[in-house]
Amino acid sequence: MRKILIVDDSPTMRRMVAASLQNLDDVFFVEAGNGLEAIETLAREHPSLMILDLNMPDMHGLEVLQFVRAHHEYRSVPIIVLTTRYDDVTRQAALNSGASRYMTKPFEPTALREQVAGLLGLK
């Protein structure tokens, strides 16, 4: 089983992301509602992939991304940034900070599923 960590301050969005990915085989979900909780969950759960919002209270998603990439044990965890931010500056900042993919909300469930499956090597 592969764990996917969904990080978003909106419980509704976390449910939507999980529902979009339920057709994938051998995955289950853990959630975090803010950046600090994301880091704690990452350390505790060791997910196979993270889906990360940028605009969150207490710790911006870019800070979470930079923290994760600064720690050797998490550098190989694929991270999909899923955000409402459409601008090229934010997109480039996320990719430069180590995001594996950058997607915007509202998102197409099929596109998200394809990205996750590709990064995890699933069918």
Where are any strands of DSSP class E within 1-120? 2-7, 27-32, 49-52, 79-83, 101-104
Average pLDDT, the chain: 96
Say if pTM beats, i.e. exceeds, 0.75.
Answer: yes
pLDDT for the residue numbered 58: 87
Task: Give pLDDT tens digits for 51-96.
Answer: 999 999 889 999 999 999 999 999 999 999 999 999 999 999 999 9
Closest to 84 in 3D by CA, of 54, 60, 49, 110:
54
pLDDT for the residue numbered 119: 97
Separation of alpha carbons 36 and 59, rounded Å: 7
Which domains, and CATH codes, for the chain? 2-120 (3.40.50.2300)
For the segment 28-43, the average pLDDT, to the nearest whole number, is: 97
Whether residue 123 is predicted with pLDDT greater than 80 in this model: the reply is no
